[in-house]
Amino acid sequence: MRVFLSTDMEGTAGVVDWSQCRGPGQEYDYYRGQLQAEVNAAIDGAMAAGGTEFLVNDSHSTMQNLRPDELHGRASYLSGKHKPLYMMEGLDDSYDAAFFVSYHGSAGSTGSVLHHTYNPRAIAEVRLNGVVTGEAGINALVALAHGVPVVLISGDRVTIDEAQPFCPDIESVVVKDSISHNAALSVHPERARELIHDGARRALARLSDIRPPSITLPAELTVRFHSRAFAELACALRNVERREDKVVALRNDDPLQLYRTFIATVLLSRGVSE
């Protein structure tokens, strides 16, 4: 079985501050090692259930967080930016399953540690078909386009709750409970790895019972920005409609094209915010 892994970092056990997931620095170096261990645990667990081939898409920040020499030997490593399909680059219909490792809550969530959606400087909230969603729900559009089930997600409890409306059969691994934007109660790192290993094994063991993402088409992403300037710029793109002063809507019956349009709005917003 071929497994695609999209790896973020804010959902790693123990991570509660930007300094821990943005380099350079000792805190970042330590927690990138913890992320590495959680990714390898997911691969080990998948192998225990028949996984044979793995692609790891390093999807956090610079997308150069993992050390290739410390990555599981059965995995290929996709790193660097900008990737056309960003956090989902590399996924196609040849894969049997997708994992979302170390994911975090959305910009519109309440109480999820380090919550944001793609660009925290620009995006205040995203809704998918009217439901507040984070990167897991948005990224699930690409999995839907290729008919690939998203079978595993790890992170805090809020992140798992946000993913389930679109991936109701997903195997969920909670490695921490958020207390506030910068505080969380985490399990021990070793326990986090055990939970992720076992979750990955269970996910592939029941793969035949897990469906591709449940997203009604045509689908609509409603994006609320922090500033009207971002909304104005987004309207330069096709299939983007202004709804309110700071709100735009993206609608398409092709989930892959909808995702591409969303990524284009993210890249445009970064040009303004940075």
Residue 274 annotated as binding site: no
To the question of whether residue 8 is assigned a binding role by annotation, the answer is yes
Catalytic residue (one of 115, 116, 197, 226): 116
Whole-Å CA distances, 31 to 19, 27, 66, 152, 226: 10, 6, 10, 21, 30
- Rounded distance, CA 160 to CA 91, Å? 21
Amino acid making up residue 226: H
Active site residue 188: no
Contacts of 149 (CB under 8 A, 6+ apart): 97, 98, 143, 167, 169, 207, 210, 211, 212, 213
60 is in an annotated binding site: yes
Alpha carbons 61 and 236: distance in angstroms, whole number? 26
Exposure b/e, 116-141, CB count within 10 A at least 16 = b: bbbbeebbbbbbbbeebbbbbbbbbb
CA distance 2 to 90: 12
Name the phi and psi angles at 140, rounded to 5. Answer: -65, -20
Give the residue carrying structure tokens 């790192």: 189
**Cβ pair 104, 112 in contact under 8 A:** yes
Binding site for Zn(2+), by residue number, is 8, 10, 60, 104, 135
Binding site, by residue number, is 8, 10, 60, 104, 135
Catalytically annotated residues = 116
